[in-house]
Amino acid sequence: MSLDYLDFEQPIMMLDEKINELKRVGVDTDVNVSEEIVRLKEKLETLTRDVFSKLTAAEIVKLARHPKRPYTKDYADRLCTDFQELHGDRHKDQGQEIYSGLARLEEQVVMVIGHQKGRTTAEKVRRNFGMASPEAFRKALRLMKLAERFDIPVVTFIDTPGAYPGITAEECNQSEAIARNLLEMAQLTVPIVCCVIGEGCSGGALALGVGDRTLMLQYAYYSVISPEGCASILWKSADKAAIAAEALNLTSDRLLSLGLIDTIVPEPLGGAHRDPDLMAATLKEHIIRELAELSIMDKTELVNARYARWLSYGSPDRS
């Protein structure tokens, strides 16, 4: 079984394999299979559309965690030019669980900051599976303040299973690192556009998430806790994760209708990993549009609007 396909994609995989087999037959023999291939490809597209039109919340969580899903660096490389990576919290650590730097997004200079997962085993370990340490969050904050001083908008990419739960993380005050980012982001005087690209889980996600706009890729998820964590606490069994995923309303369409995110960025058929270039191009368009809208506001107006926005979440009377 190909690891590219998730369990609910099995019918798609089987059809895809059939097409590949037919292609091989076409090469090896004189039989004309091209018509059949065209027919099967159409069928494949219809089938994929069908499967993806009725995804459950749990299936979307699987897509958000797909091992081939583009990560922050994949987008930064495709969206930006002149990327200059910037490291370190200036106190203790390089903070490689977050990828960050100065770059150009077309003509606009931006500060890019995003959780970074690893692709290979070695990189996964180096990136700590996208679970940021307090040092990585403090690096992010340092760079946001740097951006503010030079009037550079901040673009964040959110993709984390949560902040790192470990002994040193607690010793270095993980709570404060997250909290400080929330407070400083709330009053930063440059535009902040936040993009949830994969897993938006818990306080570790929000530590890069207090901004003027929240964009969310179609098959990303955003939640207070992982479905597994929620299930083991409220249902006393991690096996109920699928039910918890549904109950948590963590999908982009639910969150948009609840008014908790601003825009859903549509993904290519089959998910972002099927066509990272197309995904990046769509995302780029959205980010540029949002930044253009925000750039016409003066600083006070910008910060006041962000303040009003964050005060209104969960309190509709305020908005």
Partner 1 sequence: MSWLKRLLPKVSGSNKKAIPDGLWVQCSGCSATLYRAEVERNLFVCTKCQYHMRLSARQRLDYFLDEEGREELGAGVTAVDHLKFKDSKKYKDRLTQAQKKTNETEALIVMAGQVKAQPLVAAAFEFSFIGGSMSAAVGERFAIAAEYALRKGCPFVCFATSGGARMQESLFSLFQMGKSAAVLSRLAKAKLPFISVLTDPTMGGVSASFATLGDIILAEPKALIGFSGPRVIEQTIRQTLPEGFQRSEFLLKHGAIDNIVHRRDLKDTIANMLSMLMHAK
194 in helix, strand or coil? strand
DSSP summary character for residue 110: E
Q: Using CB under 8 A, which of the segments 98-106, 139-147, 250-258, 291-299 binds partner 1?
A: 250-258
Single residue of 70, 114, 191, 203 touching partner 1 by CB under 8 A: 203
Alpha-carbon gap, residue 188 to 185, rounded angstroms: 5
Measuring CA to CA, how many Å separate 186 from each of 57, 74, 100? 30, 28, 20
Q: How many residues bind partner 1 (CB under 8 A)?
A: 52
CB of 306 to partner 1, least distance (A): 8
User: Cα dihedral sign for 277, 278, 281, 286?
Assistant: negative
Tokens representing 263 are: 């825009």
Map the footprint of partner 1 across residues 108-137, applying CB under 8 A: none
- Using CB under 8 A as the binding rule, whether residue 166 contacts partner 1 is answered as yes
Nearer to partner 1, 47 or 260 (CB): 260
How do beta strands 213-217 and 192-201 pair?
parallel
User: Cα dihedral sign for 104, 108, 114, 119?
Assistant: negative
Query: Taking the CA atoms of the chain, what radius of gyration do you get in angstroms?
Result: 21
- Using CB under 8 A as the binding rule, whether residue 222 contacts partner 1 is answered as yes
Please say whether the beta carbons of 153 and 190 come within 8 A: yes
CB of 154 to partner 1, least distance (A): 15
Alpha-carbon gap, residue 305 to 298, rounded angstroms: 11
- Using CB under 8 A as the binding rule, whether residue 20 contacts partner 1 is answered as no
Nearer to partner 1, 184 or 275 (CB): 184
Nearer to partner 1, 4 or 246 (CB): 246
Nearer to partner 1, 102 or 154 (CB): 154
Displacement of CA 234 from its chain's centroid (Å): 26
Please say whether the beta carbons of 44 and 15 come within 8 A: yes
Query: Per-residue x/- mask for partner 1, residues 269 to 308, rule CB under 8 A?
Result: -------------------------------------xx-
CB of 207 to partner 1, least distance (A): 8
Single residue of 3, 27, 122, 167 touching partner 1 by CB under 8 A: 167
- Using CB under 8 A as the binding rule, whether residue 187 contacts partner 1 is answered as yes
Single residue of 182, 238, 278, 297 touching partner 1 by CB under 8 A: 182
CB of 187 to partner 1, least distance (A): 4
CB of 186 to partner 1, least distance (A): 4
216 in helix, strand or coil? strand
Nearest in space to 207 (alpha carbons), one of 217, 215, 196, 191: 196
Give residue for tokens 């938006």. 200
- Using CB under 8 A as the binding rule, whether residue 215 contacts partner 1 is answered as no
Q: CB burial class (10 A; 0-12, 13-18, 19+) of residue 65? A: middle
Single residue of 17, 85, 176, 253 touching partner 1 by CB under 8 A: 176
CA dihedral 197, 199, 205, 211 (to 10 degrees): 30
Single residue of 169, 192, 193, 279 touching partner 1 by CB under 8 A: 169
Task: Report the interface residues with partner 1, using CB under 8 A.
Answer: 163, 165-167, 169-176, 178-180, 182-187, 202-203, 205-206, 209-210, 222-225, 229-230, 233-236, 244, 247-250, 255, 258, 260, 306-307, 310-311, 313-315
